[in-house]
Amino acid sequence: MTLRLIQVGLGAHGLGIAHDVIVPSTDFIHVGLVDVDTDRLELCSNSLQVTIEHCYTDYRKAFSEIEADAVFIAVISPLHYDICKCALENDLHVYIEKPYTVSLEEAKELTTLAQSRNLKLMVNQNYRYFPTVMTLKNVIDRKLLGEPMFVHAQFYYFHEGKPYQRQMDNYMLMEMAVHHIDMIRYLTGRNMKSVVGRTWNQEDSGYVGDPHVQAVFEMDNGIPAFYVGSLLSHGEPSPWEGCWRIQCEQGSIHLEDLGQGHGVYVVNQQGEREKLALLELEKESVHAVLADFAESIRENREPSISGADNLHTMAALIATSLSSREGQRIMVETLM
C-alpha cells in the first residue's frame, strides 16, 4: 500500500528530500504541498507532479481538505509544534525533522496526543542510519574489546546560520548537538541519567543562542560520556557525525581518521589498529528513516525513532542548557 503524504515546507532541505527520497520511494506519494511562498508552490507543483488545487499556503486547510495518511514536516524548528499538533488532531501520522520541538513540554504534549490517537510520530534522527554509525554500533554491541568504559565525542564546524537560527535559544544544542547526543543514546543503548554542561557564546558572533557546548553525561548504567561541539569553529571541520572514541576494557573503538581515511577502527591492547569494512545497508540515512516510518504505519507499531523515544534526547538537551544556566548537575530523569 502506497501511503498518501502531505509535505509542509519546500525549502532547499525539504525539496531535496522530496526529489531524492520521497519521489523514488514506493512507500509514499505526494498528495499535497504546503509552503508560505506561492511562487515556490507553483514551481514544486510542477516538479513534484501535485495539482495546484492541492497546493496550500495554510497547513490547516490542507490537513482538513486533502485525503492523506501522513504529513512530512520540513519547516524551521520553532514552527514544529503547531504544525505537528494540527496534523495529529486531523488523525494524520507525522514524520518530523529534528529537533522534535524546541520545548520539552511541547514534545511531551505531542507524544501523548499521538499515543492517545494511535498515530505514528517519527523524528528524523537520520544519523543513526549512517553506515559509519551503524558499523560503530555493531562493533560496540559485539563487545569485541569488552564492555565500554566511557565515550568521547567531538564536533567542530563553522556554520553561517539562517536568520531563525541566529535568534534561537540553545542554537548549537537544538540544531546540531541533537544529532550527536541522540547518537550517544543509540550507540550505548542507554539514556542519560545526569549532566554537567556548559554552553557559551562569543563576542560579535551574530547569534542570540550559544554556538558552543561542552557536556559530561552520566548514563543510566553509570558510564560517562563526554561531548564537545561547536558551530563557530574555523579550521579543520569534523565529519557531520563527529569524531568518536569508545574506550573499552581491552582497547578502543574509533569513528575518525586513524591514518587510512575516515571510518571505524578498532585498536587492541597492543596498539594494533584495524580499519573495518562498513556494513552494507539496503537503505541509508533519510531513506531508511522514511522506510521505517512507512512500516510502522502498516504494521501498527512504534517507529524506531518515535516521539516517545526522542523525549530522552530532548530531555538531555534541555538538561544541558539548564546545567549551564544554573551552574550545577542536572538529573535528566527528573525532567522526564
The CATH architecture that domain 3-126+285-306 belongs to is 3-Layer(aba) Sandwich (3.40)
| CA–CA dist 252, 187 (Å, integer) | 14
**201: helix, strand or coil:** coil
pLDDT digits (tens, 9 = 90+) for 170-208: 999 999 999 999 999 999 999 999 999 999 999 989 999
Q: What pTM, to 2 d.p., does this model score?
A: 0.95
pLDDT digits (tens, 9 = 90+) for 2-44: 999 999 999 999 999 999 999 999 999 999 999 999 999 999 9
Q: Of 59-63, 161-165, 240-244, 321-325, where does mean pLDDT reach its minimum?
A: 161-165
C-alpha cell, 168: 534561537
Positive or negative CA dihedral for 13, 16, 18, 22? negative
Over range 260-268, report the average pLDDT. 97
Q: Where does the pLDDT of residue 277 fall: very low under 50, low under 70, confident under 90, or very high at 90 and above?
A: very high
What percent of the chain lies above the pLDDT cut of 70? 100
Over range 138-160, report the average pLDDT. 96
Over range 53-81, report the average pLDDT. 97
What pLDDT does residue 278 have?
Answer: 97
The CATH architecture that domain 128-282+315-335 belongs to is 2-Layer Sandwich (3.30)
What pLDDT does residue 100 have?
Answer: 97
pLDDT digits (tens, 9 = 90+) for 198-235: 999 999 899 999 999 999 999 999 999 999 999 999 99
Question: What 8-state DSSP symbol labels residue 19?
Answer: I
Question: What 8-state DSSP symbol labels residue 16?
Answer: H
What pLDDT does residue 198 have?
Answer: 98
Residue-range domain boundaries for the chain: 3-126+285-306, 128-282+315-335
Q: Would you call 269 exposed, middle or buried from its count of C-beta atoms within 10 A (0-12, 13-18, 19+)? A: exposed
Q: Where does the pLDDT of residue 1 fall: very low under 50, low under 70, confident under 90, or very high at 90 and above?
A: confident
